A = this chain, B = another copy of it.
Amino acid sequence: MSELVRVAVDAMGGDNAPFVTVKGAVDAIKESDALKVFLVGQESAVNEELAKYDYDKNRIEVVNATEIIEMAEPPVMAIRTKKDSSIVKAMYMVNHGEADAYVSAGSTGATLVGGQVIVGRLKGVDRAPLAPLIPTEKGSSLLIDCGANVDARSNHLVQFAKMGTVYMENVMGKKNPTVAIVNIGAEEEKGNALVKETFPLLKNCPDINFIGSIEARDIPAGEADIIVCEAFTGNVILKMYEGVAKSMMHVIKKGLMSNLKTKIGALLIKNDLKKSLADYSMDQYGGAPMLGLKGLVVKTHGSANEVEVKNSILQCVTFTQQKISEKISEKISQ
């Protein structure tokens, strides 16, 4: 058997920890033989959850961490002071080479800061972007960057395009993935100062498949595989996805409950509609990778369930086996 991929999971992170983090870890090692999980958190609470399951004891190990970083805590201060928190301890395991990857459903801010400060950036990488997969009509696209770097500069965006290309090629198996920059029109001369400066750099970048500008309205249709933008714009795109989808569902439900005829109709379509909409949900991909670091950092939703946690952990296996960090280093230095 080849070497195991070692994933340090923040067992205390998220709304439903440690129940979903422990269950997700147990399910993950059942699905992949190549995996070992470290559950980092309050030993007694984690062990109590673990006792509920039957699993390969050699492939899940509990690492005690007494402190918890809360969602609302200022992240820089939390990372600095809570040395015995599950987030800080799990991240140091990656930094020390005791784990290959880190997964958390906890504080996004602490994960982003810890990723840069504790795990550390690869040589040559200026900023480490958070890059979730978003659902599209054609499957999924990588939205890069979504959280770590507001007020990014044009050279950062070029690095994002390169890192995204490595990810989509090697983790998602997309050959020669297309790259587009978010813009307010299709023409090259459109855009704000950042986009105008970045566009020619992307156009002249030989090792990406740049197809030009993409307007926000064409993102859900899946018009590009990699969507490059700075984090403020990325965050707005991601949250509009959530917000519009949620509001439309409310509006549709209200329409379906308006009279007896529609109520009967609703009963007939309910299950199939749910299935269609599940394909269009953010949760299926199991968390967003933070790229350009010395190990993989995966941030999953605070509200993640055990399936999302499991998928986040499994993502680390592919990422590590495919040597994504090494490939990013290579591409960035080109």
Contacts and interface: CB of A to CB of B under 8 A. Distances in A.
A48 B250 CA distance: 46
B252 A277 contact: yes
A317 B277 CA distance: 43
Interface in A208-224: 215-221
Contact of A279 (B240, B246, B251): B251
A248 B220 CA distance: 9
Interface residues of A, number: 59
A11 to B, nearest CB: 25
Contact of A277 (B195, B235, B255, B276): B255
Contacts of A242: 217
A175 interface: no
A243 interface: yes
A255 B276 contact: yes
Interface stretch (A113-121, A158-166, A264-272, A308-316): A264-272
A201 interface: no
A193 interface: yes
Given A216-B238, A262-B273, 17 more contacts: A137-B247, A150-B191, A151-B192, A184-B235, A220-B243, A232-B233, A233-B233, A236-B236, A240-B240, A240-B241, A252-B277, A255-B275, A256-B272, A258-B276, A262-B272, A264-B265, A266-B269
Interface of A: 136-137, 147, 150-151, 182, 184, 191-193, 195, 215-221, 230-233, 235-248, 250-252, 254-256, 258-259, 261-262, 264-269, 272-273, 275-277, 279-280
22 contacts: A147-B184, A150-B192, A151-B192, A184-B231, A184-B236, A217-B240, A220-B243, A220-B246, A221-B246, A233-B236, A240-B240, A245-B248, A255-B269, A255-B275, A255-B276, A256-B269, A256-B272, A258-B276, A262-B272, A264-B265, A268-B268, A269-B269
